Amino acid sequence: MFSKACEYGLKAMIYIASKSLDGQRVKIGDVADHTGTPEAFTAKVLSTLSRHQLLQSIKGPYGGFELDSHQLKTVRIADIVSAIDGNQLFEGCALGLETCNAEKPCPMHHNFVQIRNDLKHMMESTTIHDLATGLVAGESILIR
């Protein structure tokens, strides 16, 4: 459903948010270790998210990644997906057709539109804070 970059970005953001809840800043190596993602690729994805102002990237010996209290409460899963993968998941055709719409639907259009809308609603109403608190409470995992 998501690109690999988006999967890595979501996992990394959830991990960073879980540490940010305790006021901790994390290094890229820690993010990669705790999410099971390749360090170099994860760093590139986090750079993209930082450019979109979805997290803080601090340079130097005490640097790392963190989310401030405002970001924890306001960054939505939809924001992360859009920053990395664009809006194709929320607007695109299930079969990848460019001309699919209500007037000229693909064979899956009418069934897929509701699923796509429900998914978009869930991602727009779920913050990174929501997912991080579940991780901290032991209700979810990021790595096998």
Q: Cα–Cα distance between 125 and 106 in angstroms, integer? A: 28
Which phi and psi (to 5°) does residue 44 adopt?
-65, -40
Calculate ∠ Cα 81-14-55, nearest 5°: 70
Give the pTM.
Answer: 0.93
Residue 1 pLDDT: 80
Are 126 and 77 a contacting pair, CB within 8 Å? yes
Residue 139 pLDDT: 95
- Domain at 4-136: CATH code: 1.10.10.10
Residue 143 pLDDT: 87
Q: What is the pLDDT of residues 34-86, one digit of tens each?
A: 999 999 999 999 999 999 999 999 999 999 999 999 999 999 999 999 999 99
Domain spans of the chain? 4-136
Residues whose CB is less than 8 angstroms from the CB of residue 141 and which lie 6 or more positions away in sequence, other chains included: 135
The band of 144, judged by pLDDT with boundaries at 50, 70 and 90, is confident
Q: Percentage of residues in the chain with pLDDT exceeding 90?
A: 93
Which amino acid makes up residue 104? K
Which amino acid makes up residue 40? A
Q: What is the pLDDT of residues 85-114, one digit of tens each?
A: 999 999 899 999 998 999 999 999 999 999
51-69 b/e with 16+ CB inside 10 Å = b?
eeebbbbeeeeeebbbbee
